[in-house]
Amino acid sequence: MNTEKGLDRRLLGRIIGYLMPYKHWVILAFCLVLLVSFLGPLRPWLIQIAIDNHIVPGELDGLVILMIALIGVLALEGALSYVNAYFTQWIGQQAIYDVRVRVFRHVQQQSLSFFDRTPIGRLITRTTSDVEALADVLSAGVVVIMGDMFKLLFIAAFMFSLNWVLALVTLCVMPFMLLVTLWFKRNVRGQYRETRKQVARLNSFMQEHVTGMQIVQLFGREQVEMNRFEKINDQHQIAQLKTVFFHSLFWPAVDIIASTAIGFVLWTGGVSALSGAITVGILIAFVQYCRQFFEPIRNLSEQFNTLQGAMAGAERIFDILDNDQSLPQVEKQIPQDRLEGEIVFDNVWFAYKNHDDGTPDWVLRGVSFKIRRGQDVAIVGATGSGKTTIISLLMRFYDIQKGRILLDGQDIRTFRLRYLRWRIGLVQQDVFLFSGSIARNIALDSPGITLDNVKQAAKAVGADKFIGQLPNGYDQDVRERGSSLSQGQRQLLSFARVLAHDPNILVLDEATSSIDTETEQMIQRALERTLEGRTSLVVAHRLSTIRYADTILVLHKGLLREQGTHDELVAAGGLYQTLYELQYREQEQLGASALVTEG
C-alpha cells in the first residue's frame, strides 16, 4: 500500500513536471481561483449586511450602494470563473500538446524492430487516448482541487466571523456530508467498475457477433446466441440498476443533510437571537452557506477519481517514453556530398528475433558480396530466403548481429541515419501512398523538390500520362474515393518519387502482383530510366530485370548460394536453374506467345 502511494506521488510529480514551462501561468491561474473562491462566500455576507443594517432598520439609502457592490462582486465572480475555467483548460492543453508531440516523436524514432513487435493500434492509443486522460489532471486537476479546498476554508472563515456558535452547528453536519459522499463514492466506484466491465462485455459480444454474423447464421445458432445475448444484456442491466440505486439514495441524502443543517441553524439561531447575539440577516446568510458548502465537497471527490484514471494512462505513456529502442547514432559525421555507391556485405549475420530457447532465428547466415560503383545487381530466391532483409539492412532499418556492411568502405553505422537514407532510394513492393495530392506523394515535402522537379520526374518515368487524365492532375487527392490508382500506376508513382529525390544508390523490391503487358512495359522503361548512373540492388520478380542485371545473387534459406550473370548461372545448372524455371520461365513463355500473336 505504501509503495503504491509512493509510486503515485512520483508519477504525479512527473505529470506535473509537464506544467513547469507554464509555471507563471499556473501561478496566475491559482491566484484567480483563490479570488473566485473568496468572492462566492462573500455574497451571503454582503446580503447579511444589507438585511441587518438597512432593511431591518428601514434605512434604504445605503442599500443602493451595497446592492451595486453586490452586483459588482457577482459580475467579477462570473467573469473570473469564466476566465478561470477557460484558462486552466488553456494551460492544460498547452502541456498536453507538448506531451503528445513528444510521444509521437519518440515513437517515430524507434527502430523498425520496435514496430515489428508492437501493434500499431497500441501505439495509436498511447499518442491519443492515453494522452487525453492526462489532460484532466493537467488542465483542471491541480488548480481546481486547490480552489475547492480554499473555498471550503473561506466559507468556514466567513461563518465563524459572523457567528461561531452557528458556524459550529453547521460544521456539525459536515462530517455526515463527508461520510455520505465517501460512502457513495466508494460504492459507486465499485459499481462503475462493474458497469464498465458489463459494458465492455456487451460491446465485445456485439463486436464479435457482428463480425462473425455469417458463422452464426450459417450454423443456425440464432436462438442460442440470442439467449446468450439476453443474459449478458441482463447482467448489464443489473449492474446499471445497482448504480441507479446508489444514486437514488445519495441525492436525497444530500438534500436531507443540507436541510438538517438549515433546521439546526434556525433552531439554535432563533434561540440565540433571544439574547440579541444573532440577527435575521445572519440567519439568512447561514441558510445560504449551508447550501454552498456541499459543492466543493462533491467536486473534490470527483477530482480524485479523474486523478486516479489519469495515473493509469500516465504510467503507460511513461513506459513508452522510458523504453528507447532507437538505433544508436554516431556523433562523428562524415562530410560527403555524394556517395560513390560501392556496397560491401562482409559475413553478415542477422536475425529479427530469437527462438524460444534464446538462440537467434537467423535469417541471413554469413552473407558476403561486393557491389561496385554503378553496378546493377539482382537478388533472386524463393519466398523467405532473405531477399527483402538485405534491402532493409542496407537502409539500416535494423542493425546486424555479426559482420559488417560497408558503404564506400565505411561502416554504415558511421553515417548519419538521415544522410544515409537520403542517399539511398527505396522502392517498395506495395507502394504506400500518404493522404494528399499526387504531387505531394512524389515530393514527400522534401526540401528542394519543386513542382517542376516533380513533373520532370513523372515525365521521365511516363507517369505524366495518367496523371494528366486525373480530374485534378497533380493536385488530385490519392485517397479520395473514385480516384484510386491501379497497382501499376502506384508503381510508376513510386519510381517518380525516387527519381525526384535523385539518390546515389537505388534499392528496389519489385512488385509480385501481375499487371497488364502495357503497364509492364511502361514500368520496365521507368526502371531502366531510374537505374541510369546509379548503383542498384533489386529484388527481382521480373525476367527482364534479371536479364538486365550485371550480377545475380542467388539466396536460399539465408545463405548466398550462387553468384554470376544469368547465362553463367543457367549454364551452371544449380539452384538458379530451378528458381528460374519456377519464377521466370512462365514470363518467358507468355512473352514469347505475346510475340507470336503480335507477329
Partner 1 sequence: MHSLARLNHYFIRYWRLFVPGLLFTMISAIFAIAVPVVVRQAVDSIPRFEVLYRQFQGTVLQHSLYWEIFWTLLIFGLIIIGLSLVSGLFSFLMRQTVIVASRHIEFDMRNTLYDHLQKLSASFYNRTKTGDVITRSTSDIEQVRRYIGPAIMYSTRALVIVIVAVVTMLIISPTLTLYALMPLSILGVAIFLVAHYVHKRSEALQRQYAQLTSRVQETLAGIRLVKAYAREKTETEAFEEESTLYKSRMLGLARVEAAWRPIFVVVVGLSQVMVVWVGGRLVTEGVITIGNIAEYIIYVGLMTWPIAAFGLVISMMQRASASSERIYEVLDEEPDISDGSRTDYSVTKLRGHVKFENVSFRYAEGLPYALRNVSFELHPGGSLAVVGRTGAGKTTLIELIVRLVEPTEGRILIDGKDLRDLPLSVVRESVGYVAQDLFLFSDSIGNNIAFGTVGASEEEIRQAAFEAELLETVLEFSEGLNSGVGERGVSLSGGQAQRTTIARALIREPKILIMDDALSSVDANTETRILEHLRRRQGQHSMILVSHRISSIQDLDQILVLDEGSLVEHGTHESLVEHDGLYAQMHRRQLLEARLEAIQ
Window 445 to 474, contacts with partner 1 (CB under 8 A): 445-446
Task: Report the candidate in 431, 462, 439 with the shortest Cα–Cα distance to residue 527.
Answer: 462
Q: Which CB, 99 or 314, lies closer to partner 1?
A: 99
Binding mask 573-592 for partner 1 (x = CB under 8 A): --x--xx-xx---x------
Window 162 to 221, contacts with partner 1 (CB under 8 A): 199, 202-204, 206-221
Cell numbers given for 502: 535523385
Length of the chain: 599
Binding mask 299-338 for partner 1 (x = CB under 8 A): ----------------------------------------
Task: Report the candidate in 11, 18, 13 with the shortest Cα–Cα distance to residue 94.
Answer: 18
Q: Nearest approach, Cβ of 361 to partner 1 (angstroms)?
A: 16
The H-or-E segment that residue 570 falls in is helix 566-572
Q: Nearest approach, Cβ of 106 to partner 1 (angstroms)?
A: 11
Residue 496 near residue 503 (C-beta atoms within 8 A): no
Using the contact rule CB under 8 A, the part of the chain among 92-100, 313-321, 454-462, 545-553 near partner 1 is: 92-100
Cell numbers given for 571: 549454364
Query: Quick check: 71 binds partner 1 (CB under 8 A)?
Result: yes
Q: Which CB, 168 or 213, lies closer to partner 1?
A: 213
DSSP characters over 413-424: GGS-HHHHHHHE
Q: Nearest approach, Cβ of 216 to partner 1 (angstroms)?
A: 7
The H-or-E segment that residue 528 falls in is helix 517-531
The H-or-E segment that residue 293 falls in is none
Query: Quick check: 74 binds partner 1 (CB under 8 A)?
Result: yes
How far is Cα 409 from Cα 346, in angstroms, rounded to an integer?
Answer: 11
Using the contact rule CB under 8 A, the part of the chain among 91-99, 174-182, 339-347, 468-476 near partner 1 is: 91-99
Mention every residue, 6+ apart, whose C-beta is less than 8 A from residue 329.
416, 417
Residue 115 near residue 108 (C-beta atoms within 8 A): no
Residue of 51, 351, 478, 527 that binds partner 1 (CB under 8 A):
51
The secondary structure of residue 584, as a DSSP letter, is I
How far is Cα 251 from Cα 268, in angstroms, rounded to an integer?
Answer: 26
Residue of 26, 37, 100, 151 that binds partner 1 (CB under 8 A):
100
Using the contact rule CB under 8 A, the part of the chain among 145-153, 301-309, 331-339, 439-447 near partner 1 is: 439-447
Residue of 7, 10, 86, 333 that binds partner 1 (CB under 8 A):
86
Q: Residues touching partner 1: how many (CB under 8 A)?
A: 134
How far is Cα 63 from Cα 310, in angstroms, rounded to an integer?
Answer: 49
Q: Which CB, 4 or 61, lies closer to partner 1?
A: 61
CA atoms 305, 308, 314, 319: torsion sign: negative
- Full 3-state SS string of 23-40: HHHHHHHHHHHHHHHHHH
How far is Cα 41 from Cα 152, in angstroms, rounded to an integer?
Answer: 9
Residue of 6, 7, 82, 568 that binds partner 1 (CB under 8 A):
82
How far is Cα 448 from Cα 466, in angstroms, rounded to an integer?
Answer: 25
Query: Quick check: 30 binds partner 1 (CB under 8 A)?
Result: no
Q: Which CB, 283 or 467, lies closer to partner 1?
A: 283
Query: Quick check: 19 binds partner 1 (CB under 8 A)?
Result: no
Q: Which CB, 157 or 280, lies closer to partner 1?
A: 280
Residue of 557, 563, 565, 591 that binds partner 1 (CB under 8 A):
557
Window 337 to 366, contacts with partner 1 (CB under 8 A): none
Q: Nearest approach, Cβ of 480 to partner 1 (angstroms)?
A: 14
Q: Nearest approach, Cβ of 247 to partner 1 (angstroms)?
A: 6
597: amino acid identity, one letter: T
Q: Nearest approach, Cβ of 404 to partner 1 (angstroms)?
A: 21
144: amino acid identity, one letter: V
Q: Nearest approach, Cβ of 421 to partner 1 (angstroms)?
A: 5
Using the contact rule CB under 8 A, the part of the chain among 22-30, 184-192, 236-244, 367-375 near partner 1 is: 236-244
Task: Report the candidate in 18, 5, 173 with the shortest Cα–Cα distance to residue 93.
Answer: 18
Residue of 117, 182, 259, 532 that binds partner 1 (CB under 8 A):
259
Window 494 to 523, contacts with partner 1 (CB under 8 A): 501
The H-or-E segment that residue 334 falls in is none
How far is Cα 48 from Cα 28, in angstroms, rounded to an integer?
Answer: 31
Residue of 157, 171, 273, 321 that binds partner 1 (CB under 8 A):
273
Residue of 7, 31, 75, 330 that binds partner 1 (CB under 8 A):
75
Query: Quick check: 594 binds partner 1 (CB under 8 A)?
Result: no
Q: Which residues of 408-433 are buried (b: 16+ CB within 10 A; e: fewer)?
A: beeebbebebeebeebbbbbeeebeb
Query: Quick check: 298 binds partner 1 (CB under 8 A)?
Result: no
Cell numbers given for 321: 517514453
Residue of 65, 168, 224, 312 that binds partner 1 (CB under 8 A):
224
Mention every residue, 6+ apart, whose C-beta is less than 8 A from residue 168.
none
Window 401 to 430, contacts with partner 1 (CB under 8 A): 417-419, 421-422, 424, 426, 428
Q: Nearest approach, Cβ of 576 to partner 1 (angstroms)?
A: 11
Query: Quick check: 271 binds partner 1 (CB under 8 A)?
Result: yes
Residue of 115, 349, 352, 369 that binds partner 1 (CB under 8 A):
115
- Full 3-state SS string of 436-469: CEHHHHHHCCCCCCCHHHHHHHHHHCCCHHHHHH
Task: Report the candidate in 366, 369, 378, 364 with the shortest Cα–Cα distance to residue 406.
Answer: 369
Using the contact rule CB under 8 A, the part of the chain among 266-274, 341-349, 483-491, 528-536 near partner 1 is: 266-274
Residue of 1, 20, 120, 596 that binds partner 1 (CB under 8 A):
120
